[in-house]
Amino acid sequence: MCASALFASGSVSAEDVTVSVQAVAASNPGAKQSIPASLKAYEAQLKDAGPFGTFTDAGKDAVKAAAGASGSVSLSGYAVEVTVLSKAEKGRAKVQITIKENGKAIGSPLKTELSSRPFMTKAGDPNAPKIFLFTIKDE
């Protein structure tokens, strides 16, 4: 478990959900796409991320929390808060994701059901955003 994760639940149990968060810096709109080896698992999502040519691994961390609790990680200058809304069943869990910059939420929280298929959202400069990819992490 990563040291930067903050736990609201206070303890870890078999009911906890682990959400993997991968940050990616995107840039160079219009250029031929170049995806580094460390991001190959996300290649399909990054190809659909927009007209960006350059993708850089901007860090990876995980949030572990029980249903009803939340945790956060700091990646690439942003605080990423994940609230687990349901316990994991069949490799899926409902979560609420809030991206914060300087302690303030950017936009509205996103509610989604996560699985092993990455869920993607962006933050920052539209011409050079940070892309965040979320998956349920297998223990």
CB 57 within 8 A of CB 76: no
Task: Evaluate if residue 130 carries a pLDDT over 80.
Answer: yes
Tell me the pTM.
0.87
What's the average model confidence in pLDDT over 85-91? 91
Give me the pLDDT at residue 1, please.
39
What's the average model confidence in pLDDT over 103-121? 95
Name residue, tokens 């040519």: 53
What is the pLDDT of the chain when averaged over all its residues? 89
Residue 53's pLDDT band (boundaries 50, 70, 90)?
very high
Give me the sign of the Cα torsion angle 119, 76, 42, 87. negative
Task: Evaluate if residue 102 carries a pLDDT over 60.
Answer: yes
Task: Evaluate if residue 6 carries a pLDDT over 60.
Answer: no
Task: Evaluate if residue 104 carries a pLDDT over 50.
Answer: yes
Residue 122's pLDDT band (boundaries 50, 70, 90)?
very high
